[in-house]
């Protein structure tokens, strides 16, 4: 699985002008299931993200996890994270998992993150979404598991 994780003070996702998911202080997680991914990888990604120490402690050091601060997450599916731009000007997305498989892994990842004790809301798989956020730091990490 591949994720782009952003530390945010707030984030929201809308479909057709309606907010369908949001978070306060915590993480915006853009997630993509890749060819060959399975539920074990989704579980590993959820565990990694829940424990990432990217929030500041009282000394100003990135030493606290999402769970430590009691933060929440907004999880948005984004197959374009699988883009291959090495050749030509049009990205290829063949490295992404097929839609049915991607949806199942997206749902599994979100359930696994919740099982880690992280409150989370989601976007709508396969929908055209608008995402708004205030990146805190900014802190943005690319993760492959």
The yes-or-no answer on residue 80 being catalytic is yes
How do residues 56-65 score in pLDDT, each as one tens digit? 999 999 999 9
- Average pLDDT of the chain, as a whole number: 97
Domains of the chain: 2-136 (3.50.80.10)
pLDDT at residue number 144: 95
The yes-or-no answer on residue 78 being catalytic is yes
pTM here is 0.96
Give the active site residue among 78, 110, 116, 122. 78
Token pair of 61 as six digits: 């050091």
How do residues 12-71 score in pLDDT, each as one tens digit? 999 999 999 999 999 999 999 999 999 999 999 999 999 999 999 999 999 999 999 999
Helix (H, G, I), strand (E, B) or coil at 24: coil
Give the active site residue among 79, 109, 110, 122. 79
The closest of 89, 74, 111, 95 to 32, measured between CA atoms, is 95
């Amino acid at each position: 699985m591949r994720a782009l994780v952003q530390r945010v003070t707030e984030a929201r996702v809308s479909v057709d002008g309606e907010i369908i998911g949001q978070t306060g202080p915590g993480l915006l997680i853009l997630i993509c299931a890749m060819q060959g991914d399975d539920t074990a990888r989704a579980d590993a990604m959820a565990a990694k993200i829940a424990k990432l120490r990217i929030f500041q402690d009282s000394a100003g050091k990135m030493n606290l996890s999402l769970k430590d601060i009691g933060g929440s997450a907004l999880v948005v599916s984004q197959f374009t994270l699988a883009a291959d731009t090495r050749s030509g000007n049009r990205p290829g997305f063949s490295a992404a998992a097929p839609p049915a498989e991607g949806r199942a892994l997206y749902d599994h990842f979100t359930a696994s993150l919740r099982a880690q004790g992280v409150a989370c809301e989601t976007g709508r798989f396969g929908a055209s979404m608008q995402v708004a956020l205030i990146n805190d730091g900014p802190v943005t990490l690319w993760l492959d598991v």
